[in-house]
């Protein structure tokens, strides 16, 4: 059983930074994606990192967020800089291991103005 744990969320002032982490029980994963869901809105893709190391970002976070993973490919990260109140949401990570996709439990990010 793979348990995906997302952490690093919290309360930060506008302009601040947070780094989210996503670990999958020590399992190696090839694809890592971060989604977010704000109250009353649909879940949206924020950033993606594929097996080849290519990255993709939502227009709203380009230049501010950076997705990465460690060399062991067991932990993913989302570095979030210059945060705005519009970034307030629950952030979820999604990883692809050797057999299937797994979701993390979500971590709350709140940005105050």
Regions in the chain scoring below 70 on pLDDT: none
Asked if 4 and 103 count as a contact pair (C-beta separation under 8 A), the reply is yes
**What pLDDT, in 10s, does the model give residues 84-106?**
999 999 999 999 998 899 999 99
Query: E-strand spans in 1-113?
Result: 4-7, 10-13, 18-24, 31-37, 44-49, 55-57, 65-69, 75-80, 89-96, 101-103, 107-112
Backbone angles phi, psi at 86, to 5 degrees: -70, -15
Question: What is the average pLDDT value for the chain, to the nearest integer?
Answer: 95
pLDDT of residue 2: 83
């Amino acid at each position: 059983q793979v348990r995906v744990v997302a952490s690093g969320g919290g309360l930060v002032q506008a302009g601040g930074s947070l780094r989210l982490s996503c670990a999958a029980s020590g399992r190696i994963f090839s694809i890592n994606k971060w989604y977010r869901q704000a109250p009353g809105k649909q879940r949206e893709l924020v950033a993606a990192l594929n097996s080849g190391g290519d990255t993709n970002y939502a227009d709203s976070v380009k230049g501010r967020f950076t997705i990465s993973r460690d060399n062991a490919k067991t932990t993913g990260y989302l570095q979030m800089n210059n945060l705005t109140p519009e970034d307030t949401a629950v952030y979820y990570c999604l990883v692809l291991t050797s057999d299937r996709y797994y979701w993390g439990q979500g971590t709350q990010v709140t940005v105050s103005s």
